[in-house]
Amino acid sequence: MTQVVEQVECIYQEVVRRNPGEHEFHQAVKEVLESLVPVLTRHPHYAEHRIIERICEPERQVIFRVPWQDDTGRVQINRGFRVQFNSALGPYKGGLRFHPSVYLGIVKFLGFEQIFKNAVTGMPIGGGKGGSDFDPKGRSDGEIMRFCQSFMTELHRHLGEYTDVPAGDIGVGAREIGFLFGQYKRLTNRYESAVLTGKGPSWGGALVRREATGYGVAFFIDEMLRARGQSFEGKTCVVSGSGNVAVYAVEKIHELGGKVVACSDSDGFVHHPAGIELETLKRLKEVERRRIRDYVEIHPDAVYRHGGRIWDVPCDVAVPCATQNELDGDAARRLVSNGCLAVGEGANMPTTPEGIKVFQEAGIAYGPGKAANAGGVSTSALEMQQNASRDAWTFEYTERKLREIMKEIHRACHETAEEYGRPGDYVLGANIVGFTRVAEPMVAFGLI
Ligand code: GLU
């Protein structure tokens, strides 16, 4: 065991040395590697095949210039990325993020997590991620379209339904996927539906894809609560963010009997003790693309805290759905001392390593993004299935499938944690399930 611990530490140090300055990537690798010590002890052949070292090195990374013209006629230059991390289980699959914070380290942390998340879903999809440092905030539809067209003009040569299938992430929704798909179709002269997911339902998109990540996280938390003999009924919940994931997490939590009392954006948060009014939230964020502070104009009994920390609002269930490292050790301690009993991550890596430690030591149910937010990419895989069979399923049927998938993800992570002597440790469970599912075909394929 100590030898394996040392071996894993060496691999981690080498990752840090080879990928300088990519802190988020280091953080994501460290968390996974720590979970793998018992697997490597039990299955020494993974070390012989150097599976971990191979998984930590992306199969391919593309970085490109994205020139475009804004509405004033000025030329703008952004940087585009696609990291094709691992294709042992299927074509690279993972979203595109358009946000000014995007650099290679962010894309690599997301791509690395995606390998394990996608494996945990049990669907035949590899892991990848992409994006750009383009900031869509305040841009017109015309600017968004020109940017997407330029982005795809370079990216299209690296994609394909059997090669790499992007979708959305922060800053990329159905509007952007539409512009990207239109340009791909024009450049290739192929109506290759399954080259992108998150499409509009009128042109090959799966019903429920928009709702899937948010619904999925609610279903996953529901499973964690059930495993402890509890339910959402009567629980006070706090959901950070107010994007696609947050909005549909709120919707499903309300349907399952919980009450969401706070949500946020990057400026501040709204606390509405009577319960967040979903229709207002949807109208503000989806239709009018406004800020969360405007919520209190419509609901004067709610309060808006500019720059405040949403995790100070007392709750039974916390659902971080905004972005990476939004919940640190301090915030975690506050949640625990306020009596929080479950945390389900709708965002990718929203809890810092210190925050995770706090949750685990307190013994609360903590569902990491890799498992808890896998409903989005699972439904993307369902979209690919429908495209391949030129079929379109109903909302109810697709949602039932999503619910089953989340239940199965929970079962696999829960049982694996028990099998490895760490009951209730979903981090360990998800990492081990994901890793072994990727490692097996990698061994079978030989050294490629
Ligand atoms: N960006 C989402 C995620 O983090 C979805 C990826 C997809 O649907 O391919 O999993």
The CB-side HSE value for 137 (13 A sphere, CA atoms) comes to: 10
* Cα 359 to averaged position of ligand 1 atoms, centre (Å): 25
Nearest-atom index, ligand 1, CA of 125: 9
* Cα 386 to averaged position of ligand 1 atoms, centre (Å): 17
* Cα 363 to averaged position of ligand 1 atoms, centre (Å): 29
Tallying the residues shown for the chain, one arrives at: 448
Tell me which DSSP letter residue 327 carries.
B
* Cα 372 to averaged position of ligand 1 atoms, centre (Å): 12
* Cα 268 to averaged position of ligand 1 atoms, centre (Å): 25
How far, in whole angstroms, is CA 222 from its chain's centroid?
A: 18
Confidence class of residue 10 from pLDDT cuts 50, 70 and 90?
very high
* pLDDT of 448 strictly over 90: no
- Which of 144, 205, 143, 207 is closest to 171 using CA atoms? 144
Q: Hey, is 167 helix, strand or coil?
A: strand
Q: What is the largest CA-CA distance in the chain?
A: 63
Nearest-atom index, ligand 1, CA of 117: 10
CB of 150 shorter than 6 A to ligand 1: no
CB of 378 shorter than 6 A to ligand 1: no
Q: Provide the b/e sequence for 351-369 (b: ≥16 CB within 10 Å).
A: bbeebbebbbeeebbbbbb
Instruction: Taking residues 333-355, report their average pLDDT.
Output: 98
Alpha helices in 78-208 (DSSP H): 104-121, 141-155, 174-188
Q: In this structure, are residues 96 and 169 in contact, taking their beta carbons and an 8 Å threshold? A: yes
Q: d(Cα 371, Cα 334) in Å, to the nearest integer?
A: 24
φ, ψ of residue 289 to 5 degrees: the values are: 50, 50
Instruction: Taking residues 7-21, report their average pLDDT.
Output: 97
Among the options 93, 108, 117, 129, which is catalytic?
A: 129
* Cα 320 to averaged position of ligand 1 atoms, centre (Å): 16
CB of 169 shorter than 6 A to ligand 1: yes
* Residue having the nearest C-alpha atom to atom 10 of ligand 1: 377
Per-residue confidence (pLDDT) for residue 252, from 0 to 100: 98
Nearest-atom index, ligand 1, CA of 96: 1
Both structure tokens of 226: 């059930």
CA angle 162, 168, 173 (to 5 degrees): 135
93 is catalytic: no
* Residue having the nearest C-alpha atom to atom 9 of ligand 1: 94
Alpha helices in 320-374 (DSSP H): 329-337, 353-362, 369-372
Confidence class of residue 340 from pLDDT cuts 50, 70 and 90?
very high
* pLDDT of 253 strictly over 70: yes
CB of 197 shorter than 6 A to ligand 1: yes
- Which of 217, 190, 191 is closest to 204 using CA atoms? 191
Instruction: Taking residues 84-89, report their average pLDDT.
Output: 98
Calculate Rg over the CA atoms of the chain.
21
Sheet (strand 365-367) strand order = 303-306, 268-271, 259-264, 236-240, 317-320, 342-344, 365-367
Q: How many CB atoms lie within 10 A of CB 226?
A: 13
- Which of 114, 176, 196 for mutating ligand 1's site (highest number of atoms within 8 Å of CB)? 114
Q: In this structure, are residues 229 and 365 in contact, taking their beta carbons and an 8 Å threshold? A: no
Q: Hey, is 11 helix, strand or coil?
A: helix
- Which of 89, 213, 402 for mutating ligand 1's site (highest number of atoms within 8 Å of CB)? 213
Residue 283 neighbours by CB under 8 Å, 6+ apart: none
* Cα 45 to averaged position of ligand 1 atoms, centre (Å): 31
Q: d(Cα 414, Cα 416) in Å, to the nearest integer?
A: 6
CB of 380 shorter than 6 A to ligand 1: yes
Q: To the nearest whole percent, how much of the chain has pLDDT over 90?
A: 99
pLDDT tens across 376-418, in order?
999 999 999 999 999 999 999 999 999 999 999 999 999 999 9
* Residue having the nearest C-alpha atom to atom 8 of ligand 1: 377
CB of 95 shorter than 6 A to ligand 1: yes
Q: d(Cα 144, Cα 153) in Å, to the nearest integer?
A: 14
* pLDDT of 47 strictly over 70: yes
Per-residue confidence (pLDDT) for residue 1, from 0 to 100: 67
* pLDDT of 292 strictly over 90: yes
The pLDDT mean for the chain works out to: 97
Q: To the nearest whole percent, how much of the chain has pLDDT over 70?
A: 100
Confidence class of residue 332 from pLDDT cuts 50, 70 and 90?
very high
CB of 196 shorter than 6 A to ligand 1: no
Q: Any idea of the CA torsion for 152, 155, 161, 166, to the nearest 10 degrees?
A: -80
pLDDT tens across 112-158, in order?
999 999 999 999 999 999 999 999 999 999 999 999 999 999 999 99
Instruction: Taking residues 98-124, report their average pLDDT.
Output: 98
CB of 129 shorter than 6 A to ligand 1: no
Angle in degrees, 0-180, between the axes of helices 426-444 and 104-121, rounded to the nearest 10: 90
* pLDDT of 62 strictly over 70: yes
CB of 209 shorter than 6 A to ligand 1: no
CA angle 157, 161, 147 (to 5 degrees): 45
Confidence class of residue 289 from pLDDT cuts 50, 70 and 90?
confident
CB of 105 shorter than 6 A to ligand 1: no
Q: In this structure, are residues 192 and 220 in contact, taking their beta carbons and an 8 Å threshold? A: no
Written as one letter, the residue type at 320 is P
Q: Any idea of the CA torsion for 49, 88, 94, 82, to the nearest 10 degrees?
A: 70
CB of 192 shorter than 6 A to ligand 1: no
Per-residue confidence (pLDDT) for residue 2, from 0 to 100: 81
Nearest-atom index, ligand 1, CA of 94: 9
CA angle 238, 235, 353 (to 5 degrees): 45
